Amino acid sequence: MNAGTQAPLNAFPQMSPFEKMFQQHRVDKNGLWSYKSTNAGKKYFFSMEALFARYQNPGGALIGNVGSISYLDLVEDELIDATDDEFFDQFSENEGLNYFNAAHYNKVPKLNAPGSRLRWGWTNDDQSGFEFTGWWIARADSSWSAIEDSTHKPNPANQAIMDILLSPPNFIDPTGTGVVSSIPGVTTAEINTILQNELMNLAGLPLDDGTVNGVTVPYDLDFRVKVVSQAWGTNATWMSTPFVDKKALKIRTLAGARYMQVREGFGFVGVDSGLLYSDANNIAGIRPDLKLFSLPTGTDENEDGIIDNAGVVEDDDAGTGTSTAFFVAPVDPVTGLAVTPTTTYVNSKVDTNLAGPELGIQFDIGGDKFKIWGQTKVGIMANQETIELEGDNVGMIIRADPDDIDRPKALIDPTVDDPNPNAFTDRQTHTHVSPLFEQSIFMEMSLFDKIPVLKRMKLLEEAKFKFGYTYIVAGEIARPFDSIRWQGMPTRGLFPSINVKRESWSVGTWSLGIDWLY
């Protein structure tokens, strides 16, 4: 039973023959001492990864106030008066025909961005260990313009005249005759044609203006939205000795702490000419709120060289349509000021800071040459968020009469002392708790020793190729596009404000990298 100077080999519970070594001693099912460990000390690891991320999109929510009347229904009577019932029905019975319809956030393209991740740590002789991870994903900017979906596009050749035409004193004559101020070298007929070309049936912004049905503001020069997302984080994790320790399978528990920051933003810009327009043959004074457009079919039915005219109903049967439109700017009867082209903008941003403890498990399948491993973590995070909102000119632009009972003026006229009377700001800070979940799975393989040239590089002697996917989702996150109270009637003190709505936020990342052991 004796072997040199080594202690005698005895069955459990007698003395282990490995007592003088720094080892884990175990008893197998046969009652004999066994061990599985070394005296090599700590083994360090380090990895660098390139990330290919996709942030969660805003979803399909409405841009604006839910429940407000559509623009088509808002001008139903005026539109029928200018055309006929059949023309109105073609819009109302066909959802594919846009008439300054409200837009939804699902128009915004995917939020993709690159990033990077670093991981460093060590494992001990008992296979416990510690790791530090830091990751960063670049800002994703995604935008959509209603001009992309418009059946006719602006003509750059007309922009110089449009810039003059929509700037006082060369603005459309507000007397109600439809005659424009003179522009040297440009006839009234040419201006009429340019306006029919350049004014577009883009989209509308539904608002709560304090009335029962609300309004939808039409924009005929520009309508675009932008969404921005960015995130980064770091965490420290303690890894226990595996509680399942088979030849090709190890499972261990994880405990640690995490900090993560999410920054999101939303921007809206809408530009309206301030004009009302209709068919010149059928005009009977200014029809409130009406911007008459041909059916947005994408074809030139009356063959006048203009696709889907503004102010004219195209008709290939020589019906109500003409080649002449009537354009007019409403006038404030008190101040005598005409409504001019107006830009509406709304910017919202949320900075979210998450910090707190997390628990999880890690599994390892495989050996030194090829391994699949992953981590599942859950955490309870303290969430400190800052929400900021700003904007200007949110209201029904084309209304000018402050004494009109049904359609009162919405925007306040600027003055020398107050050039931006319709501007607004709002800011809120909140602290609450958010749950967090992270799932990751990676594949590591000894690949570089099989590739010519690379296998001779000393830097890659102990390196492994790493490929994986990580998904992070956090709950109770304020999103900038959802946390807006869409109301607008500055003349009555109604401005957009913060209305906090929280939902989940997530980001998924594919990764490619190199992992070193040393």
pLDDT band at 201 (very low <50, low <70, confident <90, very high): very high
Tens digit of each residue's pLDDT (9 = 90 or more) over 178-188 = 556 667 888 88
| Stretch 304-327: mean pLDDT | 74
Of the listed ranges 323-327, 401-405, 471-475, the one predicted with least confidence: 323-327
Burial class (CB in 10 A: 0-12, 13-18, 19+), 508: middle
Q: What is the structure's pLDDT at 283?
A: 64
pLDDT band at 84 (very low <50, low <70, confident <90, very high): confident
Q: What percent of the chain has pLDDT over 70?
A: 84
In contact, 311 and 198? CB cutoff 8 Å: no
In contact, 63 and 274? CB cutoff 8 Å: no
Question: 447: Cβ–Cβ under 8 A, 6 or more apart, which residues?
Answer: 464, 465
SS3 content of the chain, % helix, strand, coil (to 5): 10, 45, 45
C-alpha 170/C-alpha 504 separation (Å) is: 51
Q: What is the structure's pLDDT at 319?
A: 46
Q: Which phi and psi (to 5°) does residue 324 adopt?
A: -120, 135
Q: What percent of the chain has pLDDT over 90?
A: 61
Tens digit of each residue's pLDDT (9 = 90 or more) over 136-176 = 999 999 999 999 999 888 889 999 888 888 876 656 665 55
DSSP secondary structure of 12-40: TTS--TTTTSS--EEE-TTS-EEE---S-
Residue 131 has pLDDT above 90, yes or no: yes
Q: What is the structure's pLDDT at 252?
A: 96
| Stretch 68-95: mean pLDDT | 91
| Stretch 333-359: mean pLDDT | 93
Residue 453 has pLDDT above 70, yes or no: no
Q: What is the structure's pLDDT at 318?
A: 45
| Stretch 413-438: mean pLDDT | 95
pLDDT band at 315 (very low <50, low <70, confident <90, very high): confident
Question: 492: Cβ–Cβ under 8 A, 6 or more apart, which residues?
Answer: 209, 210, 408
Q: What is the structure's pLDDT at 118?
A: 96
Q: In which residue are the tokens 């008992």 written?
A: 126
C-alpha 306/C-alpha 199 separation (Å) is: 11
Between the CA of residue 143 and those of 27, 140, 372, 490, what are the distances in Å?
64, 10, 38, 28
Q: What is the structure's pLDDT at 447?
A: 67
Q: What is the pTM of this model?
A: 0.86
Q: In which residue are the tokens 């128009």 written?
A: 107
**Residue-averaged pLDDT of the chain:** 87
Q: What is the structure's pLDDT at 325?
A: 83
The residues with which 430 forms a beta bridge, in sequence order, are: 385
Of the listed ranges 91-105, 277-291, 341-355, the one predicted with least confidence: 277-291
C-alpha 104/C-alpha 205 separation (Å) is: 10
Q: What is the structure's pLDDT at 182?
A: 67
Tens digit of each residue's pLDDT (9 = 90 or more) over 208-239 = 999 999 999 999 999 999 999 999 999 999 99
Q: How many CB atoms lie within 10 A of CB 58?
A: 23
Q: What is the structure's pLDDT at 456?
A: 61
Between residues 491 and 459, which one has the greater pLDDT?
491
Tens digit of each residue's pLDDT (9 = 90 or more) over 33-54 = 655 555 566 889 999 999 999 9
Nearest to 444 by CA among 356, 344, 516: 516
